Amino acid sequence: MRLTIDEFSLTTVSIGLHLNGQPISKGTAFTWERENEHYLITNWHNVSDRDPNTDKHLSNKAAEPNMLDGFFNTKGKNIGDKHLVRIRIRQDSDEVAWLVHPTHKRKIDVVAIPLTGDFVSSIHFYSINKMGSPDLLVGIGMDVFVLGYPFGPGKAGLPVWKRGSIASEPDLVPHVENYLLVDTASRPGMSGSPVILRTYGTHVSPGEVTVAAGAANKFMGVYSVGMVWSATFIDEIIDGGLKEYG
């Protein structure tokens, strides 16, 4: 039986955060490629289990994770065949593995975790920034999709596509605001999801309307409880190279 899986469904990674084997929380991440290096992108509050504004713990465990379990696509296997990779994200010395924004730090609720080590060779990466991102027109009230794991990885390790609508003026981001507001029913496990704008058949770009078979997609940014952090921050985080708790 031949299965057709949307390529954007393959960009996501279901993650679980642990402290010495004790489960703390769950969430979503996705992969990014830059100069032949791979990164796992998710929220700061996922890897720290702290509210970036108040610094209070988010879970009732009052503990900060030191390990991340991610379900990645397996190289050389069928689509949907995933395997678990355990990544140490905090050392006993409190040194962290993630990169934060070089200027705003945790005020941008996005981190990039460099993926290094022998396990990288076992992963088939479907990095979202390699999927193509046409210059689609983005307007308030338009629908977007949040691709995440409110119920964990499930049998196939594929995400739920949660529809939402753009609820604030897109042109303000990132020049005036750092994030876009999206009206959607949030569920635990969706934090860190990629958000895409998708159109079918008729595709509107600034100053141009095209008609083409299939879908056109534009990666918008990183989801965090009703907010979509601008996609432009990801390369800024990687370029900054700042490994810091806050």
Where b means 16+ CB within 10 Å and e means fewer, 92-114 reads: eeeebbbbbbeeebbebbbbbbb
pLDDT at 59: 84
pLDDT at 206: 67
The one-digit pLDDT tens for each residue of the chain (246 residues) are: 567 889 999 999 999 999 998 999 999 999 999 999 999 999 999 999 999 999 998 888 778 999 999 999 999 887 778 999 999 999 988 899 999 999 999 999 999 999 998 999 999 999 999 987 667 888 999 999 999 999 888 888 899 999 999 999 999 998 899 999 999 987 889 999 999 998 876 666 666 666 565 778 899 999 999 999 999 999 999 999 999 886
pLDDT at 243: 94
Taking the C-alpha atoms of residue 60 and residue 153, their distance in angstroms, rounded to an integer, is 23
pLDDT at 4: 81
Enumerate domains of the chain plus CATH numbers: 7-128+234-243 (2.40.10), 131-230 (2.40.10)
Please list, in sequence order, all residues whose beta carbon lies within 8 angstroms of the beta carbon of residue 117, skipping any fewer than 6 positions away: none
pLDDT at 215: 79
Identify the H or E element spanning 233: helix 232-240
pLDDT at 132: 72
pLDDT at 153: 85
Q: Tokens in use for 18? A: 């642990």
pLDDT at 209: 64
pLDDT at 126: 94
Taking the C-alpha atoms of residue 167 and residue 203, their distance in angstroms, rounded to an integer, is 21
